[in-house]
Amino acid sequence: MDPVEPLFLGGEYDITVDEKNRFSMPAELRRMIDPEAYGEGLIALVGVNKRPWLYPDKYYRKLLSRLTPRAVPPEDLLKFDHFNVSMTFPVPMDKQGRVVLPDKIVRRTGVKGDVTLAGARDHVELWPRAAWEEYYESLQKSPSEVALKARMAIAEGDQII
């Protein structure tokens, strides 16, 4: 099985999702995605935090390929597949970085208008700008606690998709 190349997508970018669900991926983020290693398109899904998540296409497919399919998967793996495979959408990104979010993703998450595109290590998330600011402020109230929980998860060997 091919290893998944490390990927880092960071930063926060204020953008607008227009009435046709379009937005432009910032050039800085586009430069972080090597098209040869990660593909030119994106995979969109609703993340566990109920926000749209965007992964580079090849990267996401390699992540999922690390999970061995079974003829009869256990119920938890089947639920994972339903959430992370059947509810994903391929999303092309043109040479200028323009992206159109699928209607279902917009409908399920309510992301429209002024949003923040937040880097989250190996994917980016779209947040309504006010919700992102509120969330960020809550993180700032306890940065030591956030860092400690992250260290504990890493020590326990948690792998986050």
Give domain status of residue 134, yes or no: no
Amino acid at 156: E
- Rounded to whole angstroms, how far apart are CA atoms 139 and 125? 16
Give domain status of residue 4, yes or no: no
Domain that holds residue 91: 12-128
Q: Which pLDDT does position 71 carry in this prediction?
A: 66
Residue pointed to by tokens 């607008």:
16
Give domain status of residue 64, yes or no: yes
Give domain status of residue 153, yes or no: no
- Ranges in the chain, pLDDT < 70: 1-4, 68-72, 157-161
Give domain status of residue 154, yes or no: no
Q: Which pLDDT does position 3 carry in this prediction?
A: 63
Split into its structural domains, the chain has a count of 1
Give domain status of residue 40, yes or no: yes
Q: Which pLDDT does position 2 carry in this prediction?
A: 62
Cβ contact 102:44 at 8 Å: yes
The model's pTM is: 0.86
Residue 128: beta bridge partners?
115
Give domain status of residue 159, yes or no: no
Q: What is the CATH number of the domain that holds 72?
A: 3.40.1550.20
Q: Which pLDDT does position 35 carry in this prediction?
A: 93
Q: Which pLDDT does position 160 carry in this prediction?
A: 47
Give domain status of residue 140, yes or no: no
